Amino acid sequence: GAVVSQHPSWVICKSGTSVKIECRSLDFQATTMFWYRQFPKQSLMLMATSNEGSKATYEQGVEKDKFLINHASLTLSTLTVTSAHPEDSSFYICSASGLANEQFFGPGTRLTVL
Amino acid sequence: GNSVTQMEGPVTLSEEAFLTINCTYTATGYPSLFWYVQYPGEGLQLLLKATKADDKGSNKGFEATYRKETTSFHLEKGSVQVSDSAVYFCALATQGGSEKLVFGKGTKLTVNP
């Protein structure tokens, strides 16, 4: 199946700093990428949907100025958590879909904000 | 709104035991239903899916039948293996494909030899 990578796999940062997470589709062109957040023992919650070259569509309750999403190419999307605070600590997962519409998931990034 | 409820885990079984993980859903319209599996250290992978009522999805010995009358999509396997140890997520999509997935909380399965 198609491969999606995320980098970094884990990151620890100080409160008030910004963190960038990359999501790459390695062997296919992703017309759409999705960003999810997962709390311990909770389901994945969709944060936003991004299409290459256009602005991301955020789900209700997700602050777009806090979670900046860029989908500059068909193989790369980035999520930047700006001015991170401890409550932003979570597991962030991306997925990518191409023409077949099936979503392929990355392994996730563990963010810890001190 | 749309939601998915799946049985609480963790589930621990012996090898060759029968597995059932319950999943029920609430949705407007006619959703597509999915089971995803997440092996340790890896991303979610699509295990099987069904797009309309009475469809049966199957893969790797796992099966699930789309039951509209009971709004359920229970995952079953007749004989589990140690390699089936993973977290299983039930999900639905209401836009015909895999757009806008709504996930259950996940069920961790451990299979002991």
Read off the pLDDT of residues A11-60 as tens digits, 9 standing for 90 and up.
999 999 999 999 999 988 888 999 999 987 778 899 999 988 888 999 99
Chain B residues within an 8 Å CB radius of A41: 105-106
- Read off the pLDDT band of A101 (50, 70, 90): confident
Q: Residue A103: closest CA among chain B residues belongs to which residue?
A: B98
User: Are the beta carbons of A104 and B89 separated by less than 8 Å?
Assistant: no
Chain A residues within an 8 Å CB radius of B99: 32, 49, 97, 101
B74 contact partners, CB below 8 Å, separation of at least 6:
B20, B21, B22, B23, B64, B65, B67
pLDDT in the model for residue A103 = 87
For residue B65, the cross-strand partners are: B56
Instruction: Output B54 or A53, whichever has higher pLDDT.
Output: B54
- Per cent of chain A over pLDDT 70 is 99
Q: Any idea which of A103-107, B33-37, B86-90 has the lowest mean pLDDT?
A: A103-107
pLDDT in the model for residue A18 = 97
Q: Which of A44, A92, A102 to mutate to test the interface with B (most CBs of B within 10 A)?
A: A44
Average pLDDT over residues A49-73: 90
Rounded to whole angstroms, what are the CA distances from A110 to A11, A20, A79?
A: 6, 12, 13
The strand pair at B62-65 and B75-77 is best described as antiparallel
Contact A95, A33 (CB under 8 A): yes
User: Closest to A102 (Cβ–Cβ): which among B43, B46, B103?
Assistant: B46
Read off the pLDDT of residues B84-109 as tens digits, 9 standing for 90 and up.
999 999 999 976 554 789 999 999 99
Q: Residue A6: closest CA among chain B residues belongs to which residue?
A: B43
Angle at A50 between CA A33 and CA B86, to 5 degrees: 30
User: Are the beta carbons of B43 and A41 separated by less than 8 Å?
Assistant: no
User: Are the beta carbons of A105 and B97 separated by less than 8 Å?
Assistant: no
Coil/strand/helix, residue B38? strand
d(CA B2, CA B37): 21
d(CA A97, CA A9): 21
Phi, psi dihedral angles at A40 (to 5 degrees): -55, 130
